[in-house]
Amino acid sequence: MRSFSVPGGAKGRRAVVYRKFRGVDFSADPALIDRSRSPYAPNLISDSGGFPEKRPGWRTLQTFSGQINGIFHAEMGGETHRLVHAGDKLYRNLPGETVVLRENLADNRSFGFFAAGKFWILTGAEYLVYDGETVVPVSEIAYVPTTVISRLPSGGGVAFEPVNLLTGRRKNCFQGDGETKKYVLDQKKIQSVDKVRVNGSVVTGYSVHLGDGKVTFTTAPAAPSVPGQDNVEITFTKNTEGYAGTIESCRFAGLFGAGGQGECVFFSGNPSKPNVDWHSQTHEPDFRTDPSYVPDTSFAYVGADGNAIMGYRRMGEFQAIIKAQNNQDATLFLRRCTVDDKGRFAFPLAQSAAGVGAISPFAIGNLIDECLFLSPSGIFGVSTSPITAERKIQNRSFFVDAMLLKEENLQKAVAVEWNGYFLLAVNSSCYILDGRQPRVYQPQAGGEYVYECYFWENVPAYVLAEHNGDLFFGTKNGRLCRFNTDMLEKYRYHDDGVAISAAWATKSDDDGDFSRYKTVSPRHCSVLLKPYVRSSARIYAQTEATPPRLVAEFKLDMLDFADMDFSRITFQTSSLPQGYPLRMKVPKYMALQLTVKNDAKDEGFGIYGIIKQFTVDGLLQ
C-alpha cells in the first residue's frame, strides 16, 4: 500500500490507503512495520472475512471456593456433563445444579480425557474416573490381570498378563486334580486373598498362609470336566514397592494407537520420573481401550533422564512426544504403533528434532493440523521438510514474541484451540495465532511461515476449555467464566459488566518520505467501519512531535426496533460498511499515526480501512 497522487486533486496532494488489515506486529518499531498490521490493537480478532473486530466479552457463570484447576466437558448418555475441579473439590456443574462429586483432591491444575465411555482425570496426586453419576479412584475399578494360567497346584504355568500398576490385585488360574488341597500362588508375602472360585462358583472353605503365598482348601478341588482346562481361580493382593502412585502422580496423558485396532492411553508428568511414560492396555478380541489397566511392563524411557516429557500430540501416523528445552537432548521424539500377527502392540521410538522445547505442559495444542507448543523463545510448531521429510521445529508467533517473551511465569501459561485460533493465556493476557488467515512467510522465521496474531487484555484465565465452539476459562479466585458468543450482539461486548477497550492504530507512517513535512487538511481523511446495532468510534492523531489528540468522534448505530435508544436515534439500516470523513487538520508532520478506538460497554466495533490524503511541504529543518 504505497502512497499515490490523487487524480484531479490539489497540487502535491497524495494519499495513503490502509486496508486488508491482518493483525498486530510487535516485532519492530511502529514506524517500520507493514501498513496492513498494527503496533497497537488490543482486544480485536479477525471476522469471517479476516478484518479486525472487537472480541466477544466474557461473564462469570459461577464462583467456587478455591482456584479453578480444570474445566471438562463429556458427552454421556446423550447429555453434556460439565465437570469443574475447583480447589480440592470436583463438581458436576449443570444449569441450575452444582453437585460436589468428590473432596480432598490435590489443589493443582488437572488434566482430563474421555475414553471407554467414561471420563478420566489426573490431578498430579489422584487418578479418578467419572461414569456419569459418581467419581471414584481408578484403583477401585482397575482391571485385575490374570498373571498366570494353566498352573498346577504346586506351581509352574504360563505367564499371561502383566501386573497392573493401578492395583495390587491379580489372579492365578490353576488346573485342579481332585487330590491336592494346597495351592501355591506365583507370589509370596501377599497382603490378602480376596476371592476364590472353583468351577465358576465362589468358595470359602480354605485357609491362607500370606507369607508363603499358599491357599489350603478344606476339600481338594475336583479336576476340570474338560482336561487341560483351568477350573480354580484365586484372586489375591500383592502390593509391589514403588508401584503405588506411579500413574496417580502423572500430570497429563495422550491417546495413541493403531486406529481401528484400538488405542492406548499414554501417561507422563510424574515428577520423580520426568522422562518416563507408561501406557494402558487394550483387550482382545475387540481391542477395547482400558485406561484402568496400565501394565508394569509398559514403561518407556524417552531421551535423557533429567529432561522432562512435557506433552503429546498426534501427528498423522506418529505420536509426537515434546520434551522440555535442553541443550544436550532431543526435544522431539516420534512414536509409531506396530501390531504383530497376534494383535500385540509395540511402540518403537525415534529421536527427531533437537533444540527448542516446551516450557508449559498446559500450553501444547493443535491449530487446525499443526502441533504447537509454547517454548522459552515463543510459540513453535512442528513441520516436515519437503526435501528430506525430516521434522523441524519452527517459530510461529514472530509478530507477538517481543511482548510475549516479556511475560512472567511462562511455565504457567495455558492454551487451547478455538474456532481456528490458537489462544495462549498468561497473566490476564491472551496471545492469539490466527489460523483462519493466510500464513505469512517471514525471512526472520528462517524462511518458514508464521501466523497472523492478535492480542487481548483483561482475560484472567488460569485454565481454558473449549466445547463445541464455546470458550470457557477459570480464574485463580474461583470464577468459572465463558465468552459471550452465545449472547445477542447488544449483550456480547463487555467483560463481566466492564467495557472492553478495543482499538486499531496504524503504523507511525512517514508516507514514504521521512525527509519532508506533510499536512493533512480537513475532510481529506476517511475511515471505513463495520456497522453494529450499537457502535461508536473515536479517532486520535499522533505525530512525532505531539501526543495523541482526539480529532473525530461519531456514533455508528443501526436502526433496530427491538433495541431503541431515543438518545441516539438513527435511521441507518444497511449492514454494509460505512465511510466516515474526518474533519481534522494535522499540519507539518514528518510521521503520523492514526488510532481508531472504541471503549464503550455493549458496543461492537470493526474496521475495514483508512484513507489519508496529505500535501507535501518543505524539507525537514
The string of DSSP codes covering 55-88 is PP-EEEEEE-SS-EEEEEEEEETTEEEEEEEETT
Q: What is the pLDDT of residue 93?
A: 94
Instruction: Write down the mean pLDDT value for the chain.
Output: 92
CA distance 68 to 83: 11
pLDDT at 147 over 70: yes
pLDDT at 203: 97
Q: What is the pLDDT of residue 561?
A: 47
Here the cell at position 27 is: 516485532
Work out the average pLDDT over 5-30.
81
Tell me the one-letter amino acid at 496: D
pLDDT per residue over 86-98, tens digit each?
A: 999 999 998 889 9
Residue 572 pLDDT? 66
Q: What gap in Å lies between CA 451 and CA 433, rounded to an integer?
A: 6
The arithmetic mean of pLDDT across residues 532-553, rounded, is 94
Confidence at residue 1, expressed as pLDDT on a 0 to 100 scale: 47
DSSP string, 399-441: TTHHHHTT-S-GGG-EEEEETTEEEEEETTEEEEEETTSPPEE
Of the chain, the percentage scoring pLDDT greater than 90 comes to 80
Half-sphere exposure of 12 (CA within 13 A, CB side): 11
pLDDT recorded at residue 101: 98
Contact present, 324 and 264 (Cβ < 8 Å): no
Distance CA 554, CA 538 (A): 7
319, exposed or middle or buried, with CB in 10 Å at 0-12, 13-18, 19+? Answer: buried
CB 41 within 8 A of CB 28: no
**pLDDT greater than 70 at residue 571:** no
Query: What was the pLDDT predicted at 286?
Result: 72
Q: Does 573 have pLDDT greater than 70?
A: no
Grid cell listed for 577: 460498511
Q: Which residues pair with 137 in a beta bridge?
A: 128
The Cα–Cα gap between 427 and 363 comes to 14
For the stretch 428-461, pLDDT in tens is 999 999 999 999 987 766 668 999 999 999 999 9
The whole-number pLDDT of residue 445 equals 67
CATH class of 58-68+243-492: mainly beta
CB proximity list for 228: less than 8 A, separation 6 or greater: 150, 175
The larger pLDDT score, comparing residue 114 to residue 576, is at 114
Nearest Cα neighbor of 418 from 480, 458, 372 is 372
Rounded to an integer, what distance in angstroms lies between the CA atom of residue 90 and that of residue 84?
A: 6
Give the model's confidence band at 8: pLDDT under 50 very low, under 70 low, under 90 confident, else very high.
very low
Residue 522's pLDDT band, with cuts at 50, 70 and 90, is confident
pLDDT score recorded for residue 262: 76
The per-residue pLDDT for range 62-87, each reduced to its tens digit, is 999 999 999 999 999 899 999 999 99
Give CA separation, 290 vs 116, 118, 157, 320, 331, in Å.
7, 10, 26, 22, 29
Is the pLDDT confidence value at 413 over 90? yes
Note the pTM of the prediction, 2 decimals. Answer: 0.92
What distance in Å separates the CA atoms of residue 362 and residue 426, rounded to the nearest whole number? 11
- Position with higher pLDDT, 60 vs 9: 60
Q: Using CA atoms, how far apart are residues 172 and 160, in angstroms rounded to an integer?
A: 10
Q: What's the average model confidence in pLDDT over 529-542? A: 92
For domain 4-55+502-619, give the fold.
Answer: Jelly Rolls (2.60.120)
What's the mean pLDDT in 144-172?
97
Q: How many whole angstroms separate alpha carbon 621 and alpha carbon 618?
A: 9
| Helix (H/G/I), strand (E/B), else coil: 259 | helix
For 580-603, what is the mean pLDDT?
A: 94
Q: pLDDT at position 450, please?
A: 95
Return the bridge partners of 220, or none: none
Summarize pLDDT for 207-242 with one digit per residue, the tens. 999 999 999 999 999 999 999 999 999 999 999 999
Q: 254-290 pLDDT, tens per residue?
A: 999 876 667 899 999 999 999 999 999 988 777 788 9
What's the rounded Cα separation, in Å, for the pair 70 and 111? 7
Q: What pLDDT is recorded for position 329?
A: 86
DSSP-derived pairing of the beta strands 37-38 and 23-24: parallel
pLDDT value for 9: 44
- The full set of domain ranges for the chain reads 4-55+502-619, 58-68+243-492, 169-237
